Structure 1
Amino acid sequence: MDDQHRYSDLAKILQRVWSIESSSKWTPDNPAKGQCGVTALVVHDLFSGDILKTQTPDGWHYYNLINGVRRDFTESQFTEKVDYQDVPSNRDEAFSDTNEKQYGYLKSNVLREWSV
């Protein structure tokens, strides 16, 4: 399976497993809301690459750079187009947006579906 299909599959899995357990800001109408830090960490676990951030009106927004391509699996949470600044970040900063319980929940649920 090529990378594009793997990213597409991961996006579908994330849509299914995001919940109030992975972000306290989650809602059924906006499942990606508040999922950026925890998702960037899990994507980094799967694909390595870099974690980047961009300032938004709500604070820092985290996403990934994989093989030189920006991958933002949570951009659907925004109603307006994101003005990406691609500021270098890291796991510690992305983790400041989540906690162990949320990270463990998302990672275990993604891996369970990813290996199917």
Structure 2
Amino acid sequence: MPAVSSPFATPLDLYRALSRAWSADTSSPTNAWTPSNPAQNHCSVTSLVVQDYFGGDILTTQTPGGTHFYNRIDGKMWDLTVSQFAEPVPYDDSPSTREAALADTSPEKYALLVSRLNASR
């Protein structure tokens, strides 16, 4: 998927904006989110947003908590929600899709996160 013109120079710049935009109403499930761990339960919605801005692929790996989504951009792995984990993530780089990531969150949560990012620019 081609990326849109990004207002963020790098995925790290996007991470800084995302960390201010994540909240209970953008996490999946909402009842597991805490302000002390803002990336928690945001992997699927974040992987969609990263792909929007930087293109690349959505990947998954299995963790003790279930399926974890992250991205590969120009051959480099980017996991903007890795901070949610207390243990190292066992990355296996399984190919995934936007549809799978969206099914793990919701169109409403995705739209809300995108609107917050747009409002923060």
Whether TM-score is above 0.5 comes out as: yes
Match of 2:99 in 1: 92
Deviations 1:22-76 (A, max 9, x none): 1113211111110000000011111110000000111100000000000000000
The one-letter code sitting in structure 1 at the alignment partner of 2:102 is: F
Structure 1 residue 44 and structure 2 residue 51: aligned? Answer: yes
TM-align CA RMSD: 1.3
Separation (CA, whole Å) in 1 of partners of 2:71 and 2:109: 18
Equivalent of residue 13 in structure 1, options 11, 17, 24:
17
Gaps of 5+ in 2: 1-7
Tell me, yes or no, if the aligned pair for 2:11 and 2:54 is still in contact at 8 Å: no
Identity of aligned residues (%): 48
Separation (CA, whole Å) in 1 of partners of 2:42 and 2:60: 13
Aligned length: 111
Where does structure 1 differ by over 4 angstroms across 4 or more consecutive aligned residues? none
The TM-score, its normalising length taken from structure 2, stands at 0.86
The TM-score, its normalising length taken from structure 1, stands at 0.90
Tell me, yes or no, if the aligned pair for 2:11 and 2:50 is still in contact at 8 Å: no
